[in-house]
Amino acid sequence: MTNLIELQNITRLYRSDEVETTALHNISLHIKRGEFVAIMGPSGCGKSTLLNILGTIDRPTAGAYLFDGADLAKMSEKNLAKHRARHLGFIFQSFNLVDDLTIYENIELGLLYRGGIKGGRRQAIEGAMDKVGIAHRARHFPHQLSGGQQQRAAIARAIVGQPDLILADEPTGNLDTENGAQVMEILKSLNKAGATIIMVTHSQSHADQASRQVDILDGQLVASVAQVL
């Protein structure tokens, strides 16, 4: 399989008035198309920063980020926005659904900035809702749903545009065991269907379900182990 992502010596520094913090130091990482990578590490180790850089909502201080061969580090904000719309899907720990929009409209947001989609918008949304089993809640508002349902809706929003890469930041962190397991099942089935997934997690049992586990400690890559599922 070809490399979808190549990170070369990625460093991210945060500077405030007097303090300089190194969030990531010299990280190099290759991820192939169709991989399901779990990123693990203690709180504050830089997992989320790495995921944000992969998601292009944060820029590395140094290093190169190649996505499907294209160098993203040099891309303009406008083109990065286009890149996110076309190629990426995000899933957050706290769901981040827009309160004022219905579930259907929230999922539609995933297509809003993307441009055309094969088979039409409505079918794509309905298809995404069916995949995560949330179709019956289409007209509800986020606050009317349980946490598990909200996260499933958020997953539908992430996959509706058929992205090349799904980035999940502790997707089960706010859920109980049962709902967490459901979400993991959905992610695995998406991966089976061909999606590349990068997931940050604290849960070893969830990380074990990925095809590769990457460990980070104090901003540095300490292990990258392929797992037999």
Partner 1 sequence: MLRSAFTAFFRSFIRHPLYALLNLLGLSFGIAVFITLSLFYRFETSYENWSPERPHIYEMGTRYHFPGMTEDVFMSAMGGLTEEIKTAYPQIESTRDWSNPVIVHKGAEVYNEQIELVDGNFLTFFGVPMLYGDAATALADPSKVVLSVSMARKYFGTVNAVGRIMTLNDEEGLKTYTVSAIIADLPKNTDTKLDMLRLLTPQRTAMEPYTWHNWGSGQLEAYFRFKTPADASAFARQLPAFTDRQIGQKFGTDVTPHKILELVLVPWADKHLIDPKLKAAIISLGVVGIVALVLALINYVNLATARAGLRAREVAVRKTLGAPPATLRLQFLVEALLTMLLAFLVALSLVELSLPLINSAGGLFLKLDYQTDITWLLSVLGIVLAAGLLAALYPAFALAAFKPAQVLASSRTPGGGRMAGFLRVGLAMVQFAAVAVAFVLIMGFMLQIQHIQNADIGFQRDNLMIVQSIRDNAVSQAQRESFIAAARTLPGVSHAAIANAIPGDQSTSNSSNIVRPGQVDSPTLSPTVNWSIVGEDYFQLLGAKVLVGRVFDAQRGEDQKWADDGAGDKSRVYSVVISRRAAKDMGFASPQAALNQPARFNDHQVRIIGVVEDMRFYNPNQPIPPKLYLFDVHASYAVVGMVRYQGLSEPKMREQLRKLWRQIAPDVPFDVTSAADNLDTYYKPERDRTHLFTIGAGIAALIGCIGLYGMAAFNTGRRVREIGVRKVLGASAGQVVGLLLVQFLLPVALASLIAWPLGWLALQRWLMQFDDAIAMPLWIFPVASVVALLIALVTVAGVAFGAARTEPGKALRHE
How far apart CA 27 and CA 220 sit, in angstroms, is 6
Please pick, from the candidates 66, 81, 135, 181, the single residue that binds partner 1 as defined by CB under 8 A: 81
Kindly state the smallest distance separating residue 92's Cβ from partner 1, in Å. 7
Residues 6+ apart with CB under 8 A from 192: none
- Give yes or no for a contact between 54 and 216, defined as CB atoms under 8 angstroms apart: no
For 162-209, give the DSSP string.
Answer: --SEEEEESTTTTS-HHHHHHHHHHHHHHHHTT-EEEEE-S-HHHHTT
- Interaction between residue 62 and partner 1 (CB under 8 A): no
Nearest Cα to 161, choosing from 105, 92, 112? 112
Binding residue (CB under 8 A) for partner 1 from 149, 157, 191, 214:
157
Residue 101 in contact with partner 1, rule: CB under 8 A: yes
Exactly one of 16, 77, 116, 178 binds partner 1 (CB under 8 A); which one?
Answer: 77
Q: Which stretch binds partner 1 (CB under 8 A): 89-97, 127-135, 182-190, 214-222?
A: 89-97
State which residue, 41 or 110, has the beta carbon closest to partner 1: 110
SS3 content of the chain, % helix, strand, coil (to 5): 35, 30, 35
Residue 194, CA atoms < 13 Å, CB-side half-sphere = 4
Residues 108-137 that bind partner 1 (CB under 8 A): 109-110, 112-114
The strand pairing partners of 223, in sequence order, are 215
DSSP state for residue 98 in the 8-state scheme: -
**Binding footprint of partner 1, residue count (CB under 8 A):** 29
Contact between 171 and 210 (Cβ < 8 Å):
no
Smallest gap from Cβ 208 to partner 1, in A, equals 26
| 180 binding partner 1? (CB under 8 A) | no
User: Which range of residues in 34-42, 51-59, 132-140, 175-183 is near partner 1 by CB under 8 A?
Assistant: 51-59
Q: Which residues contact 4 (CB under 8 A, 6 or more apart)?
A: 31, 32, 33, 35, 67, 68, 164, 165, 196
CB of 143 to partner 1, least distance (A): 9
Applying CB under 8 A, does 57 fall inside the site for partner 1? yes
Which C-beta is closer to partner 1: that of 14 or that of 30? 14
- The residues that touch partner 1, with contacts defined as CB under 8 A, are 48, 52, 55, 57-58, 77-78, 81-86, 88, 90, 92, 96-101, 105, 109-110, 112-114, 157
